[in-house]
Amino acid sequence: MQQFNNDKSKSDLRNIALKLSYVGTNYHGWQVQKNAVTVQEIFQKALYKILKENVDIKGCSRTDTGVHANMYVVNFRTGSRMNCENFIFAINRHLPGDVCVYECSEKDANFHARYSCKGKEYIYKVWNDKIRNPFLDGRALHYWYPLKVDLMNEAAKNFVGKHDFTAFATLDSRKQENMERTVEYFKIEKENNFVNFIVRADGFLYNMVRIMVGTLLRVSQGKIKSGDIPKIIDSKNRSFAGPTAPPHGLYLNRIFY
- Predicted confidence (pLDDT) per residue in 199-216, tens digit: 999 999 999 999 999 999
Counting every residue written for the chain, the total comes to 257
Residue 230 belongs to some domain of the structure:
yes
Mean of the per-residue pLDDT values of the chain: 93
The residue annotated as part of the active site, out of 7, 12, 56, 64, is: 64
Residues 6 or more apart whose CB falls under 8 angstroms from that of 126 comprise 140, 141, 142, 143, 147, 194, 195, 196, 197, 249
pLDDT at 81: 85
pLDDT at 3: 46
Residues 6 or more apart whose CB falls under 8 angstroms from that of 106 comprise 2, 4, 14, 15, 16, 17, 84
pLDDT band for position 10 (50/70/90)? low
* Catalytic residue check, 137: no
How confident is the model over 118-142, as a mean pLDDT?
A: 97
Q: State the distance between the two ends of the chain, measured CA to CA, in whole angstroms.
A: 23
- Regarding whether 251 and 125 lie in a shared domain, the answer is yes
7: pLDDT strictly greater than 50:
no
Could you tell me the residue range of the domain that residue 55 belongs to?
10-107
In total, how many domains does the chain have? 2
Q: What is the CATH number of the domain that holds 240?
A: 3.30.70.660
pLDDT at 192: 94
How confident is the model over 66-76, as a mean pLDDT?
A: 97
- In this structure, what DSSP letter does residue 67 have? -
Q: What is the CATH number of the domain that holds 80?
A: 3.30.70.580
CA 105/CA 19 separation, integer angstroms: 9
How confident is the model over 110-127, as a mean pLDDT?
A: 97
Residue 3 belongs to some domain of the structure:
no
- Of 78, 107, 136, at which residue does a domain stop? 107
161: pLDDT strictly greater than 90:
yes
pLDDT at 6: 44
- Regarding whether 125 and 20 lie in a shared domain, the answer is no
